[in-house]
Structure 1
Amino acid sequence: MQKRKLVITHNLDQDHINLLENILPDWELLIGKDKEVWQEHLQEAEIIAGWKKGLEEEILAPQSKLKWLQTWSAGVNNLPLDELNNRNITVTSANGVHAYPISETIFALMLGLTRKLHTYVKNQQTKNWHHAHMGLEMHEKTVGIIGVGEIGKETAKIAKAFGMNVLGVRHSGQPADYVDEMYTPDQLDVLLPKCDYVVVTLPLTNETHRLFSAEQFKQMKSSAFFINIGRGEIVVEDELIQALKDGIIAGAGLDVFEKEPLTTESPLWEMENVIITPHTSGSTEHYNKRVIENILVPNLKEYLAGNIPSINRVDFTKGY
């Protein structure tokens, strides 16, 4: 009798391999970043953890045995969601893995812009002793968190350590810990004028695509900073650039862009009021550990018990 198969498209340490082998003693596990490890087994795999280019054709083939796909990322906008839904394949994401590293990056960007650290780093390179018109503080300011999921919640929690007033946006409008006022997406025009910092932590969906354009930037304070660690396509990039050039907003901290890598021709590289990170806000030494121990293993136990994995199960109607 052929063994059931689990494919993981990432390298794991031996401790985590042993953990999975103990949970699945009768399964064949194919684990590794090198596609030669699992390429010939994709259509036989009942579970795949990780998404790589080229998987789509194999897993959507008529003979594919795939029942459940666990992504290694929080975002699922690059998946063929309609086809997966039509084939009744369960999809779970790595949502929540990034709460600590991304919230740290958010505050690094907010503090960097507020205290002009990026300017001082440039001055250090040229041995230029200059005050750079430093003067702002972050304490007791107002931050608007657009998307109060796991990342947004952790960001709100840290903001309270700075004595900040925290405004949030979530679909349900339901309150959350550390958020002083919660709004719904149709109330952005009410929230934005109140914020000294606007932090976008949204997934990319049909509803959030190009959500921030010239209209939204004009609603913000001219002294406000814009932080985007969600997805680049949530923002109309050319209109953000124009808002930064015209002083409509004070500055931006950007980890994501409409096209990645960001082209060398982009004006964003040279702007004094912009800090750029190369889509690394979620990078962390604990990434695999959290995906496996907090999401994959509990979901595996549910699956083996005959249930649909529940942690981070993607709602196909919402796109996340």
Structure 2
Amino acid sequence: MPIILTQYEFPEEQVRQIREIAPDYELKSVPIKEVTPEQIREADILVGWNRKMEQAALESDNLKWVQAWSAGVDYFPMDRFAEKNVQLTNAGGVHAIPISEHIFAVLLAMSRNLHGNIRSQARGKWEKSGSYGEISGLTMVIVGTGHIGRATARLAKAFGMRTVGVRHSGRPEEHIDEMYTTDGIREAFAQGDVIVNILPLTDETRHFFDRESFGYMKKGARFVNVGRGQSVDTEALIEALETGILSGAALDVFEQEPLPEDHPLWTREDVVITPHVAGNTDHYDARAADIFLDNLRAFVQGETLPRNLVDYSKKY
């Protein structure tokens, strides 16, 4: 009997749905700390992933599909999966609501000087210094216009912002007023009062935001990074803040995590730091499970997986 091995403990109703969709499969739920290499090698489908699973998974002659419980897949052995004809799907779309809301939480905090007020509160000081602006009428440049980028653009329009998108294909998107390919970042960035990075990590996006990229930006722009830490050259970012190219930055991801305690970003008054939590939400598991169930229906019928099938040639 083929096996579905999951790190995630599905609730009773979803267990019922899995057994109804795939009655010929055995469902095994084993916490990652307890899973053995033998169990991994026996599995036909893996739900969830941990780097400790990699060797056993690549040794397996049974494995056909891995459903990641994350949207980012840059840490998977995609080249080896391609060689072994193992399909990989991710949890893309799960983060659209929490991350787009996080983007506006930090953007409004910077615009209305809430981060400055909170620091004053911690010192017990009644201080009204700082700048108090508005985001209505500003131009937001969204770099990476997938699920999260689309949700972010929709919110931006609700706040009365103009939206500019950057994507590899340059294909138009709803709620994006003007779209550019990645070759057009000079023109796109020059328009941005706010630049939002939502890029996945690939060979092409590593240090996408470097000294040259920041140099294209409008003086005084704000930068929000909820994509991947390695897509930003940290030294170039700090230089852009120090020279006034950027008036502020909100950073949820970093090249090195956790961010070292002595890192200069911690003490900058023009930076808002969150510890890689933009995608956290109480609804995460339920949404990821819906993606798995939809894919499972197709898998048992021998059909193409309909949701979030990773293209190994693109690495996302």
Q: TM class, shorter-chain normalised? A: over 0.9
- Alignment match, 2:72: 75
- Alignment match, 1:156: 153
- Alignment match, 1:6: 4
Asked if the contact 1:45–1:64 (Cα under 8 Å) also holds between the matched residues in 2, the reply is no
Task: Output the amino acid matched with 1:304.
Answer: V
Asked if the contact 1:7–1:45 (Cα under 8 Å) also holds between the matched residues in 2, the reply is yes
Asked if the contact 1:222–1:248 (Cα under 8 Å) also holds between the matched residues in 2, the reply is yes
Match of 2:303 among 294, 304, 307: 307
Which whole-Å CA distance do the structure 2 matches of 1:310 and 1:86 have between them? 21
- Alignment match, 1:147: 144
Asked if the contact 2:209–2:233 (Cα under 8 Å) also holds between the matched residues in 1, the reply is yes
Match of 1:92 among 89, 114, 118: 89
The answer to whether 1:113 aligns with 2:110 is yes
Stretches (4+) displaced over 6 A: none
Deviation (angstroms), 1:37: 4.7
Asked if the contact 2:214–2:245 (Cα under 8 Å) also holds between the matched residues in 1, the reply is yes
For structure 1, the 5+ residue unaligned runs are: none
Comparing 32-41 and 173-182, the one that deviates more: 32-41
Asked if the contact 2:113–2:132 (Cα under 8 Å) also holds between the matched residues in 1, the reply is no
Which whole-Å CA distance do the structure 1 matches of 2:253 and 2:195 have between them? 15
Residue 194 of structure 1 aligns to a residue whose secondary structure is coil
Match of 2:173 among 172, 176, 181: 176
The answer to whether 1:122 aligns with 2:109 is no
Render the CA deviation track for 1:269-313: whole Å, top value 9, x for unaligned: 1110111111111111111111111x1111100011112313111
Residue 275 of structure 1 aligns to a residue whose secondary structure is strand
- Alignment match, 1:60: 58
Residue 81 of structure 2 aligns to a residue whose secondary structure is helix
Residue 190 of structure 2 aligns to a residue whose secondary structure is helix
The answer to whether 1:31 aligns with 2:29 is yes
Deviation (angstroms), 1:247: 1.8
TM-score, normalised via structure 2 length: 0.97
The answer to whether 1:186 aligns with 2:186 is no
Render the CA deviation track for 1:27-86: whole Å, top value 9, x for unaligned: 22112434325653110100001111211100111x431001111111110001100011
Residue 36 of structure 1 aligns to a residue whose secondary structure is coil
Q: How many residues align?
A: 316
Residue 108 of structure 1 aligns to a residue whose secondary structure is helix
For structure 2, the 5+ residue unaligned runs are: none
Which whole-Å CA distance do the structure 2 matches of 1:56 and 1:6 have between them? 17
Which whole-Å CA distance do the structure 2 matches of 1:170 and 1:101 have between them? 21
Match of 2:314 among 290, 315, 318: 318
- Alignment match, 1:222: 219
Residue 251 of structure 1 aligns to a residue whose secondary structure is strand
Deviation (angstroms), 1:150: 0.6
Asked if the contact 1:141–1:164 (Cα under 8 Å) also holds between the matched residues in 2, the reply is yes
Which whole-Å CA distance do the structure 2 matches of 1:77 and 1:239 have between them? 23
- Alignment match, 1:260: 257
TM-score, normalised via structure 1 length: 0.96
Task: Output the amino acid matched with 1:308.
Answer: T
Go from structure 1 to structure 2 and tell me whether the alpha carbon gap of 1:73 and 1:114 turns closer, same or farther (over 3 Å shift): same
